[in-house]
Amino acid sequence: MKIRGFRLDDLDRVYEIELNSFSNPYDKLILKDLFNIGMCFLVATIDDFVVGYILFGLKTIDTGHIMSIAVDKDYMNMGVGTKLLIKSLEYYVIFNVFKVKLEVRSTNYKAINFYKKMGFIETNFVHSFYEDGCDGIKMSLDIDVEKVKGKE
Ligand SMILES: CC(C)(COP(=O)(O)OP(=O)(O)OC[C@H]1O[C@@H](n2cnc3c(N)ncnc32)[C@H](O)[C@@H]1OP(=O)(O)O)[C@@H](O)C(=O)NCCC(=O)NCCS
Q: What separation in Å is there between the alpha carbon of 139 and the centre of ligand 1?
A: 15
Say how many domains are in the chain. 1
7-31: pLDDT as tens digits: 999 999 999 999 999 989 999 999 9
User: Quick one: average pLDDT of 46-58?
Assistant: 97
Whole domain around residue 141: which residue ranges? Answer: 2-149
| Ligand 1 atom at minimum distance from 52 CA | 39
Q: What is the pLDDT of residue 114?
A: 97
| Ligand 1 atom at minimum distance from 22 CA | 42
Give the integer Cα–Cα distance in Å for 84 and 56.
Answer: 11
Which residue CA neighbors atom 31 of ligand 1 most closely?
114
Mean pLDDT of the chain: 94
The CATH number that applies at residue 58 is 3.40.630.30
C-alpha separations of 5 from 39, 50, 121, 152 in Å: 11, 11, 28, 20
Taking the alpha carbons at both ends of the chain, their separation in whole angstroms is: 13
Asked if pLDDT for residue 63 goes beyond 90, the answer is yes
118-132: pLDDT as tens digits: 999 999 999 999 989
Q: What is the pLDDT of residue 6?
A: 98
Q: What separation in Å is there between the alpha carbon of 110 and the centre of ligand 1?
A: 5
To test the ligand 1 pocket, which listed residue (68, 76, 89) has its Cβ within 8 A of the most ligand atoms?
A: 76
Asked if pLDDT for residue 150 goes beyond 70, the answer is no
| Ligand 1 atom at minimum distance from 82 CA | 12
Q: What separation in Å is there between the alpha carbon of 117 and the centre of ligand 1?
A: 9
Give the integer Cα–Cα distance in Å for 81 and 62.
Answer: 24
User: Quick one: average pLDDT of 143-148?
Assistant: 76
Asked if pLDDT for residue 148 goes beyond 80, the answer is no
Nearby residues of 19 by Cβ (< 8 Å), 6 or more positions away: 25
Q: What is the pLDDT of residue 147?
A: 72
Q: Which helix (DSSP H) or strand (DSSP E) does residue 97 occupy?
A: none
Asked if pLDDT for residue 149 goes beyond 70, the answer is no
| Ligand 1 atom at minimum distance from 77 CA | 11
Q: Which residue has the higher pLDDT, 72 or 150?
A: 72
